Amino acid sequence: MKILVLNCGSASVKWGLYADGKSVDGGLIERVTDCAQAVREVIFSADVSDLDGIGHRVVHGGLRFSTPTLIDDEVLEAVTRLVPLAPLHNPVNLEGIKIAREMLPGVPQVAVFDTAFHRTIPPAQAMYAIDVEVAQENGIARYGFHGTSHEYVSRRTAELLGRDPAEVNVITLHLGNGASACAVRGGRSVATSMGLSPLEGLVMGSRSGNIDPAVVFHLHRVAGMSFEAIDDLLNQRSGLKGLCGDNDMREVLRRRDEGDAAAELAFDVYCERVKMYVGGYYALLGRVDAITFTAGVGENAAPVRAASLSDLGALGIVVDAARNGSAARGERLISPDGAFPAVCVVPTDEELEIANQTAELLAR
């Protein structure tokens, strides 16, 4: 099967061409201001002859979409109705789909949702403790994101350990520009740190993650900030960026090495938040077979992995300093042999997972 994958983000378009589950071409277009134009470029430049299907990453699938879905007009309408829940993402995803349908009208198009993997989260985790009627009327619930990555990485972790994914409990830590943690029991998501939007949970490059919601009221009432300004503050000027001025972990690590106090504090706030989710999900899962780091920070930043799991020996969680610090790439164990839980690094590959899920749906 030959599958084109399109991942249209707010500022970039990632694409990949796959033949029978193997990557044959791909690329990243950055600083995109016109997603439609970027998708046109991809379709003009890539070898799109004899495509069996196109897999699109769609960020928000609401409560409805729990599996990859063949796109028709009705599905497009449903994704459009979800725009208020993902105002930065769903519109660009929709743009990409519309251009691909126009340019390659005979090719089946499949939506793979970031939220889908989390539809197995039970109500005790999915519900916010607010008036249930208000919540229901307004679709207020914990949807979760990065699902394609958590699904792929948790399955690869089980395979790395030589185990059946259905029998393994994993805490996956996707630490990229956006960051989220997920508790995976036997291959199914049972809790995740992002909620209604990708703002909740871990400290991120420029997003705050968890804060007291009263901060919003306070900034509005007392500081006179508009909701737009607070939205911008929490999404664009918070996280590492807010704490020390740099949103890129490479820069934070470099400054911390030089003794920069703000960078060190930003690092500590970031890693302690990760540690708190690991502890929480450990308690929730009861038995944890593996803890796995992925995405730009998780795959590359050894100091973040070490600090996030420091002093957890009483829980059996140990990071081997030499393994963690080695220049090795690819899927690997960074805990001592035989340690339980295992600590792993597994590079994520969302485009490959989208290609495989698309091919699987089309093969049915």
Q: Which of 68, 96, 178, 198 binds ligand ADP (CB under 6 A)?
A: 178
249 is in an annotated binding site: yes
299 is in an annotated binding site: yes
114 has catalytic annotation: yes
Active-site position among 114, 246, 260, 349 = 114
Environment class of residue 140 by beta-carbon count within 10 Å: exposed (0-12), middle (13-18) or buried (19+)?
middle
Instruction: With beta carbons less than 8 A apart as the criterion, state whether 68 and 112 touch.
Output: yes
Amino acid at 121: I
Residue 249 engages ligand ADP in binding (rule: CB under 6 A): yes
Tell me whether strands 53-58 and 2-8 are parallel, antiparallel or unpaired: parallel
115: Cβ contacts below 8 Å, ≥ 6 apart: 59, 60, 61, 62, 65, 143, 144, 145, 147
Cross-strand partners of 294: 174
Residue 176 engages ligand ADP in binding (rule: CB under 6 A): yes
Nearest distance, CB of residue 176 and ligand ADP, angstroms: 3
Residue 300 engages ligand ADP in binding (rule: CB under 6 A): yes
How many amino acids of this chain bind ligand ADP (CB under 6 A)?
A: 13
Main-chain dihedrals φ then ψ at residue 342, nearest 5 degrees: -75, 145
Residue of 342, 266, 249, 247 whose CA lies nearest to 300: 249
Q: Which of 13, 75, 295, 352 binds ligand ADP (CB under 6 A)?
A: 295
Nearest distance, CB of residue 246 and ligand ADP, angstroms: 9
> Which single residue brings its beta carbon nearest to ligand ADP?
296
Nearest distance, CB of residue 205 and ligand ADP, angstroms: 5
Q: Which of 52, 95, 231, 248 binds ligand ADP (CB under 6 A)?
A: 248
Structure tokens at 354: 């989208």
- Residue 137: which H helix or E strand, with range? helix 132-138
Cross-strand partners of 18: 3, 23
Closer residue to ligand ADP (CB): 67 or 177 = 177
Q: Which of 239, 296, 341, 347 binds ligand ADP (CB under 6 A)?
A: 296
Binding residues for Mg(2+): 7, 350
Residues that bind ligand ADP (CB under 6 A): 176-178, 205, 248-250, 253, 295-297, 300-301
Q: Which residues are tagged catalytic?
A: 114
